[in-house]
Amino acid sequence: MYNEIVWYIHQNPVVAGFVYEAEQWIYSNAKGYANNDGMIKLAEC
């Protein structure tokens, strides 16, 4: 379920016609998901 929600959120600017790929949307963290490295590095506890 989580993956579907993230996909939906990332695809909104694509569906709206603002960009061709979700990673192009400047206000999205889709690049982090595409590179599988995320936007913020978290320290391990």
Q: Domain for residue 27, yes or no?
A: yes
Pairwise CA distance, residues 45 & 24, whole Å:
33
Predicted local distance difference test score (pLDDT) of residue 37: 60
Q: Are 28 and 39 in contact (CB under 8 A)?
A: no
Predicted local distance difference test score (pLDDT) of residue 16: 96
Q: Domain for residue 43, yes or no?
A: no
Owning domain of residue 21 = 2-35
Predicted local distance difference test score (pLDDT) of residue 30: 83
Pairwise CA distance, residues 25 & 5, whole Å:
17
Number of domains in the chain: 1
Q: Domain for residue 40, yes or no?
A: no
Low-confidence ranges of the chain (pLDDT < 50): none
Predicted local distance difference test score (pLDDT) of residue 44: 74
